[in-house]
Structure 1
Amino acid sequence: MRLSGLSRQIALSMIKIALGTAFLVTLGSFAFYYIWNKYWPSNMPSESDFAPSLPEWAWIAATFSIAIVVSISVAVKLSRRILEPLNSVADGIRQVAKGDLAVRATVGDRSLGEAALLADDFNSLAEKLQQMTDAQAFWNAAIAHELRTPVTILRGRLQGLAEGVFTPDKDQFLRLLAQVDGLSRLIDDLRVLSLMNSGELHISQTRVDITAEIKTVADLASGMLQAAGQQVIIDAQVVWMQCDAVRIRQALLALLENASRYALAGTVRIQTRHEDGFYCLSVEDDGPGIAPERIEQVFVAFYRATEVTNNGSGLGLAVVAAIAQAHHGTARCYLSAAGGTVIELRWPA
């Protein structure tokens, strides 16, 4: 059986103690009797003397004392090496219990194996707890910020209607409905991301006429696209796809909404294709594009690639990425040859 880590260090220390004691007794005994025989030969014990003489008792006591000191020294040194990471982990646990998630255990001697791994595992756990706490604080602040604007608008409008400041006509009610729709989309986006983070975003893939689904979503988004001076061009190289139609419609609507908010007036091209065993669904606009250093961040929740918010929540592309992952695929962003932004979903065919 091969020993490793802490068990190996303990075994080696025990072997050192045993060999050191044997070496001390053997070599020391030869030296003791050699000196005695050389300088005091008349006092050497005879073969008939079974009981140790006084000098022999003194040698036995000295040898025993030296062996005990060496053994204690090795044991103390080993225990300190073992207890350093263990005590550090124990102290770290107490600090974490008090709310200090920035604490980290001292790994110490990595040759101890299990003790070093325990410290590493504790540090990894503390780091994940800190990341989760920071993420929770960020999400709470971000959600509160995103909800504040529509709720404030709704409250102001309703108070104005109650006090007679605004006329209760169709236009006012449509504005209120628009704010409620925005809240509904925000809540639905948050629900999708929450389900994705907890691993509970389940999809039901069926054979879908993707061209018909694209036309349906384009019709729904026609109003906001026309207001932005944009028109949709559909390039459907693949008609049928295996996917969750509801979630793909949700992702496509988020992409069109994103284009209407941030892209220039012109065309929005929706393309489908089958490539290397993957289905691809992409939305391309006419610019102005995204700075290359910001492309990697566009799918992060509440991140905006432009300083102009346009009332966007910063959740749309994060939801798109979550839906792509639920299909066991990916979402990516890149710039087209014309300088526009392309958002592409890919999932296994």
Structure 2
Amino acid sequence: MIQKYRQSFNANFTDELYHQLTQYLEEGYPPIPFRVAETPVFIPTALKEKLITAGNEIIALIKQHNFKELTQNAIPSQWNVKNETGNPHFLTFDYGLCKDGDGEVIPMLIEMQGFPSLYGFQSHLAHAFKKVYSLDDQLTPYFGDLNETSYFELLRKVIVGSHQPHEVALMDVDAPNQKTAIDFFVTAKKLGIKVLALSAIKKEGEQLFYEENGEKVQLKRIYNRLIFDEIGDDTKIFDLSFDPRSELDIEWVTHPNWFYRISKYTMPFLKSKFVPETHFLNTLTYIPSDLENYVLKPLFSFAGMGVIIDVTATDINEIKDPENWILQRKVTYEPVIQAPDAGVKAEIRMMYLWPDGEEPQLCINLARLSRGKMIGVRYNADFDWVGGTVGLMDK
């Protein structure tokens, strides 16, 4: 959207350069199973400022003294984990790029999570775009005064804390084989931490251990990438390792409860020009007559699963657990990214780090391009100039 960069990029783009990009990204890592887009998003200053303002409004709500009280029902009783921290270590806010009544590009909040995203990979991706495409050195994916070095220093402070790297592990159900495993491996390479599947961690008393070279190593801190929703009700998986809900001598980064507190559940509490009108379904006093302008979303789902786009009154009346759904005014994405053949829709994720005892800090971003009905990969399988990418801004 910064025209000088967009025009130059499109004029010089070749399929061979894109091939070089994907090769560079995978060098030293397993193949990336998700689609990386051909282009970064060039974020103009005016849009960056709106994104920052929108994020500050959300953070103001999260920092309210009664935020935990407001969101206590967000945590499913079967997934409530002990020893919750005072604040999350990660915040990610997803915005669709739209146009307001004056024709200006405006971000509209789509999703939010108190959960980590691709904090390692996004830096790797930005570096790859700049190197392979020989982009202007003034372009950066970072906010404030951060650069690649200071960004990873901050990430190390948040994830490793006061411990030694070998005492910290990134954990997921089957971490080495997840679709986003490249992010895990980039993070491990930068920080020196372990990448462990849930089953590789064993509990003795209240302590957790993993084995390396025949030796037991005690874990002090877990960089948690485990989403309980992915396990569903199948808790037999904990028979292989440990139950995260038990009493443990471990520090969570970030504590699992924040995944639920900062989520779609939070959106009805936000009133902003950057947030679409959102209601808990069980609080509706009437069904809007213009349901074509709304979308129905389950609170406890991810990657767009279960979302009903073309809502009817019958859909609403058939919901058996309305307290677990939201009705949200639709957001109309504007195809603001100019591909060689047409405009492409975009979503930008603003990614914050919140060190212990400090303030949340906006650090880096993630972007996704789409030509499909929805942003996710499964809705864009047959297109090019779509997929995961990163926003670059003038320093």
Which structure carries more strand by proportion? 2
TM over 0.5: no
TM range (shorter): under 0.3
| Higher radius of gyration, 1 or 2 | 1
* Greater RCO (Cα-Cα under 8 Å, separation 6 or more): 2
TM-score (norm 2): 0.19
Instruction: Please report the TM-score for the alignment, with normalisation by the length of structure 1.
Output: 0.21
